[in-house]
């Protein structure tokens, strides 16, 4: 309800109860329902089934994986404790505030999930090392600082949302790549299932915050809109530069850097689309490895639809959940 | 000459895709109090996906309303669906649902507001598709 404590002597604004039967924006209820239906906890994923698979990884691959997950934990921690709460004072509706509390909590669940992976698969000492590494890694710290600068209360509501969407829809993906890579090679498949739940949540978060950004942007004049757009693209360039170096520092050793960068470009474009902007990176640098795409979305193969396939045949969807009281036929 | 009929929620992703496509298209209103467009020739439906983690609720209610009208439904020739690959096997799932319910081909899937490649493939694909239909 964005009520700030008044200085003594001033009258406090009337506290108002949130009424979900009087909506100003249908999107709030739509997203609330989506997020609550999708609620999960790491205990539902049988991570211990990955113990044998973990043992087959080389020492450097294990270290890489722990570091990548620690980096993701840091971003989730920032979003949980600073990012989502920072958006609340700017909420346009009381329902938006409620949705943001859900987003904040799920980020805590995500951050907590990586620790479940660690306690199931790893030695305490190697995990402690990785947490120390995350505090000392210049690239990880640099991108966190750039985002946190925008979350400062002095920053504009729109700039906070841009930073938030870039964190949710772009910065995570240098990390998400690795479990998808392992999964495509039948390694750590249960861990990958857990990461997919996180990936699904982040898509809803990025979409919703991007949507609220667009609602707020449309109230501004042409010049201000142009200024925000310049800010967004400049921040994307700055973050991309750091992400490139972070990616090289992590993945050069396993020879995956180029592949990861295509994945970064592809996701940077999606982050911009969530804000209502056009893509930045041309399709020629967004050729994500099909094995990674398949690990992300098992039915995303090119032959699934008519225009992408040979054109001689098409797939009518398999048994699908079409039951819905609204269909008349 | 056939046409496109599309739904776009307040996020505007599908609307931006249609705008960039530059083909004539009828928009299904978001508000259920508004009148549905009068469709009187064969059409391809373009729609976004809103499925939850179990695939439920994929097709927007307003699209269901349009398809519940039997004469309109009989003119549907194909479906193009958007979504986000982050949703795994339910990526663009609204396309699978409409394809199966109405017995029409799922022509194409794209993410959010689509890329240049998506626009190119859909432009080319639609032209070829109508040639074969006629």
Minimum distance, in Å, between the CA of residue B86 and any CA atom of chain A? 5
Task: Give the pLDDT confidence of B6-42 residue by residue, as tens digits.
Answer: 999 999 999 999 999 999 999 999 998 999 999 999 9
Task: Give the pLDDT confidence of B59-100 residue by residue, as tens digits.
Answer: 999 999 999 999 999 999 999 999 999 999 999 999 999 999
- A114/A125 Cα distance (integer angstroms): 16
How long a stretch of residues is chain B? 134
Judged by DSSP in three states, B107 sits in strand
Instruction: Calculate what percentage of chain B has a pLDDT beyond 90.
Output: 90
pLDDT (average), residues A84-108: 97
- B82/A143 Cα distance (integer angstroms): 31
- pLDDT band of A240, cuts 50, 70, 90: very high
Residue B19 has a pLDDT of 97
- pLDDT band of A4, cuts 50, 70, 90: low
The residues of A annotated as belonging to the active site are: 114
Minimum distance, in Å, between the CA of residue A108 and any CA atom of chain B? 20
Find residues 285-324 of chain A whose CB sits inside 8 Å of chain B.
286, 293, 296-300, 304-308, 311, 314-318, 320-322, 324
- Average pLDDT taken over every residue of chain B: 94
- pLDDT band of B113, cuts 50, 70, 90: very high
Q: Which helix (H) or strand (E) holds B77?
A: strand B76-83
Instruction: Calculate what percentage of chain A has a pLDDT beyond 90.
Output: 85
Residue A311 has a pLDDT of 46
Give me Rg for the CA atoms of chain B: 14
More reliable by pLDDT, A327 or A132: A132
- pLDDT band of A124, cuts 50, 70, 90: very high
Residue A274 has a pLDDT of 98
Judged by DSSP in three states, B47 sits in strand
Q: What is the ipTM of this complex?
A: 0.94
Exposure of B42 in the CB half-sphere (CA atoms within 13 A): 11
pLDDT (average), residues B91-112: 96
Contact check, Cβ <8 Å, A299/B125? no
Of A14-28, A55-69, A138-152, A289-303, least confident by mean pLDDT is A289-303
Residue A300 has a pLDDT of 61
Residue A303 has a pLDDT of 60
- Average pLDDT taken over every residue of chain A: 93
- pLDDT band of A154, cuts 50, 70, 90: confident
At residue B105, φ and ψ (nearest 5 deg) are -70, 145
More reliable by pLDDT, A321 or A94: A94
Task: Give the pLDDT confidence of A194-216 residue by residue, as tens digits.
Answer: 999 999 999 999 999 999 999 99
Residue A155 has a pLDDT of 82
H helices of A218-285, where?
222-251, 257-274
Q: Which residues of A touch B101 (CB under 8 A)?
A: 322, 327, 329
Residue A307 has a pLDDT of 84
Contact check, Cβ <8 Å, A304/B109? yes
Residue B60 has a pLDDT of 95
- The candidate with the shortest Cα–Cα distance to A35, out of A96, A86, A81, is A96
* Dihedral (CA of B46, B49, B50, B56) sign: positive
Residue A55 has a pLDDT of 98
Find residues 139-198 of chain A whose CB sits inside 8 Å of chain B.
196
Instruction: Calculate what percentage of chain A has a pLDDT beyond 70.
Output: 91
pLDDT (average), residues A115-139: 98
Report the residue of chain B nearest A294, measured CA to CA.
B88
- The candidate with the shortest Cα–Cα distance to A120, out of A78, A66, A166, A201, is A66
- A198/A113 Cα distance (integer angstroms): 9
Task: Give the pLDDT confidence of A29-83 residue by residue, as tens digits.
Answer: 999 999 999 999 999 999 999 999 999 999 999 999 999 999 999 999 999 999 9
Axis-axis angle for helices A222-251, A257-274 (nearest 10): 160
Q: Which residues of B touch A322 (CB under 8 A)?
A: 97, 100-101
Exposure of A119 in the CB half-sphere (CA atoms within 13 A): 8
At residue B119, φ and ψ (nearest 5 deg) are -60, -45
**Residue A313 pLDDT more than 50?**
no
Sheet harboring B25-28: ordered strands across? B25-28, B3-7, B43-47, B76-83, B106-111
Report the residue of chain B nearest A319, measured CA to CA.
B100
**Residue A87 pLDDT more than 60?**
yes
- pLDDT band of B1, cuts 50, 70, 90: low
**Residue A312 pLDDT more than 50?**
no
Residue A35 has a pLDDT of 96
- pLDDT band of A308, cuts 50, 70, 90: confident
Residue A12 has a pLDDT of 83
H helices of B22-115, where?
61-67, 70-73, 93-102
pLDDT (average), residues A156-165: 97
What residues form DSSP beta bridges with B109? B81
- The candidate with the shortest Cα–Cα distance to A40, out of A114, A115, A113, is A113
- pLDDT band of A326, cuts 50, 70, 90: confident
Specify whether the CB–CB gap between B70 and A329 falls below 8 A.
yes
- pLDDT band of A320, cuts 50, 70, 90: low
């Amino acid at each position: 309800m964005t009520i700030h404590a008044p200085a003594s002597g001033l009258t406090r604004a009337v506290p108002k109860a949130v009424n979900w039967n009087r909506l100003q924006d249908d999107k709030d209820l739509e997203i609330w329902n989506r997020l609550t239906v999708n609620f999960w906890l790491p205990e539902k994923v049988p991570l211990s089934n990955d113990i044998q698979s973990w043992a087959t990884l080389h020492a450097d691959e294990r270290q890489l994986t722990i570091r990548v997950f620690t980096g993701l934990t840091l971003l989730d921690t920032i979003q949980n404790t600073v990012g989502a709460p920072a958006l609340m004072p700017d909420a346009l509706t009381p329902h938006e505030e409620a949705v943001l509390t859900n987003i904040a909590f799920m980020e805590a669940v995500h951050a907590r999930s990586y620790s479940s992976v660690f306690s199931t698969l790893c030695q305490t000492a190697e995990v402690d090392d990785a947490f120390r590494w995350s505090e000392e890694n210049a690239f990880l710290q640099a991108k966190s600082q750039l985002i946190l600068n925008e979350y400062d209360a002095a920053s504009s509501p729109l700039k906070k949302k841009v930073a938030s969407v870039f964190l949710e829809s772009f910065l995570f993906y240098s990390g998400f790549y690795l479990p998808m890579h392992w999964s495509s090679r039948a390694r750590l498949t249960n861990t990958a299932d857990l990461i997919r739940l996180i990936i699904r949540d982040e898509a809803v978060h990025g979409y919703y915050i991007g949507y609220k950004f667009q609602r707020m942007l449309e109230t501004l004049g042409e010049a201000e809109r142009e200024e925000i757009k310049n800010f967004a693209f400049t921040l994307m360039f700055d973050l991309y530069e750091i992400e490139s170096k972070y990616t090289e520092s992590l993945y050069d050793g396993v020879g995956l850097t180029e592949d990861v960068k295509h994945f970064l470009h592809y996701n940077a474009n999606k982050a911009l689309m969530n804000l209502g902007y056009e893509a930045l990176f041309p399709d020629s640098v967004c050729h994500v490895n099909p094995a990674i795409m398949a690990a992300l979305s098992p039915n995303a193969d090119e032959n699934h639809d008519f225009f992408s396939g040979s054109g001689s045949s098409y797939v009518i969807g398999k048994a699908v959940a079409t039951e819905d009281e609204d269909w008349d036929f | 000459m056939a046409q496109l009929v599309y739904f776009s929620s307040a996020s505007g992703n599908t609307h931006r895709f249609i705008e960039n496509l530059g083909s004539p298209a009828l928009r299904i209103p978001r508000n259920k109090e508004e009148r549905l467009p009068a469709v009187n020739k064969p059409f391809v439906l373009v729609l976004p996906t809103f499925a939850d983690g179990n695939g439920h609720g994929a097709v927007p209610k307003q699209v269901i309303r349009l398809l519940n009208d039997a004469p309109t439904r009989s003119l549907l020739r194909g479906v193009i669906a958007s979504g986000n690959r982050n949703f795994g096997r339910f990526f663009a799932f609204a396309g699978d649902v409409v394809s199966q319910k109405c017995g029409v081909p799922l022509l194409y899937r794209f993410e959010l507001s689509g890329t240049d490649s998506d626009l190119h493939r859909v432009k080319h694909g639609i032209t070829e598709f109508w040639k074969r239909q006629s």
